[in-house]
Structure 1
Amino acid sequence: MRRVVTGHDVDGRSVVVSDGPVPRSREFTSLPGWISRLPWATEPGAPVSRTGEDPTPKVTHVLPAPGGTRFIVLTFPPESAMADPAFDPVAFDAEQRADSPGIAELIGPDGMHTTPTVDYGIVLQGEIVLELDDGNCTPLAAGDIVIQNGTRHAWRNRSGRPVTMAFVLIGTEPDH
């Protein structure tokens, strides 16, 4: 995956300041086919970067604070990969926690989780199912968009092929 970042030169003109692979990208060894990428992030109140300085190395929590954002691209292997006898759920959980601190701790053994964010999700490739806590399952295909309003959910790849989704997470104030 290629990431192009713009900024401004010394005269204030727009320029490409970075063009290359997503630097914060991880292919999991504990679950082949699971790929996590963090192309960009913003922190609450931070000004727009005029130089295109990469904020991703400074991100310590993938879950954004209220007013912050995270741009995440995930590739989900088929659900059947977790049924493989070689799959080690403990190793996968450890790799998730190392890669996605702040969110990984919220994911239950069944994959269900809730975050205090509004998430814009776009299916880039493949087919996936959005499961909500009432058991409702909504199939999604390439080009479909999901607006996730802090609801408990899980993603299920029952297709037999990898699925890639892009998410923009916007940190919100938690309900009291």
Structure 2
Amino acid sequence: MSHYITTHDSTGQSVVSDKVPTVPHAHPIPGGRLEILYSSHDFPPSLETEKDIDQYAHDRTHGMENGICPSKGTAAAIVHIEPNAISAMHRTMSLDVMVIIEGVLEAHLEGGEVRTMRPGDSMVQRGTMHQWKNVTPNDGWAKAAGFSTAIQLPLVIAGKPLETEFRM
């Protein structure tokens, strides 16, 4: 799989950046791996310089201070989920869009709802507690594209301030 980020040369022409390798870096996560495709620490990011590309190059090898999505920025990733893996019930302080690419995933919500998702299906997580379960037939892997953006904090729902949370 190849990965490219575009930019502009000194004359303003579109070119592919040579600042990052063309192969995404895979970070191990419980039950799979995560390939960070892009991250910015500002929203909206400035594209007048390559500051965002430099920051992404750092993030992909050193990780980020706030998990996947920088606290004031954006991120895009491919999530690979092992056969039969079940994530922790969790909440992130970001707006996350997940699009299923391969396999079958169940999204379990804190309120008890379950949605079965197949390739092409999507879910927008708005700071909600959720859990992913790979139910792909024949012990298959599942893959999803994830897009995250920072949200206004604090997040207060029903009078209660919420934070990033993981329940095992």
Flag whether TM exceeds 0.5 (same fold).
yes
Residue matched to 2:142: 163
For the residue of structure 2 that corresponds to 1:135, the secondary structure is coil
RMSD (CA atoms):
2.4
Partner amino acid for 2:145? A
2:162 aligned residue: none
Amino acid of the structure 1 residue aligned with 2:109: L
Task: Pick closer, same or farther for the CA change 1:6–1:145 going to 2, 3 Å.
Answer: same
Aligned counterpart in structure 2 of residue 145 of structure 1, from 122, 126, 139: 122
Cα shift at 1:66: 4.5
Q: Give me the whole-angstrom Cα distance separating, in 2, the residues matched to 1:27 and 1:5.
A: 23
User: Match of 1:53, as an amino acid?
Assistant: I
Higher strand share: 2
Out of 51, 64, 67, the position equivalent to 1:60 is 64
Amino acid in structure 2 at the alignment position of 1:4: Y
Q: In the aligned structure 2, how far is the partner of 1:168 from the partner of 1:75?
A: 14
TM, length-normalised to structure 2: 0.74
Separation of aligned partners in 2, 1:148 and 1:26: 22
Stretches of structure 2 lacking an aligned partner (at least 5 in a row): 157-168
Q: Which runs of 5+ in 1 are unaligned?
A: 83-109
Alpha-carbon distance in structure 2 between the residues aligned to 1:141 and 1:14: 36
Assess if the C-alpha contact under 8 Å between 1:40 and 1:54 holds in 2: no
Question: How many corresponding residue pairs?
Answer: 144
In the alignment, residue 48 of structure 1 is paired with which amino acid? L
Deviation at 1:111, TM superposition (A): 1.0
Q: 1:37 aligns with which of 31, 35, 38?
A: 35
Q: 1:2 corresponds to which residue? A: 2
Distance 1:49 1:41, change over 3 A: farther
Counterpart-to-counterpart distance in 1, 2:130 and 2:48: 33
Distance 2:124 2:95 in 1: 7
Calculate percent identity across the aligned residue pairs: 21
TM-score (normalised: structure 1): 0.71
Is the CA contact (8 Å cut-off) linking 1:7 and 1:49 kept in structure 2?
no
Distance in 2 (alpha carbons) for counterparts of 1:42 and 1:2: 20
* Equivalent residue number for residue 82 of structure 2: 77
Deviations 1:84-112 (A, max 9, x none): xxxxxxxxxxxxxxxxxxxxxxxxxx710
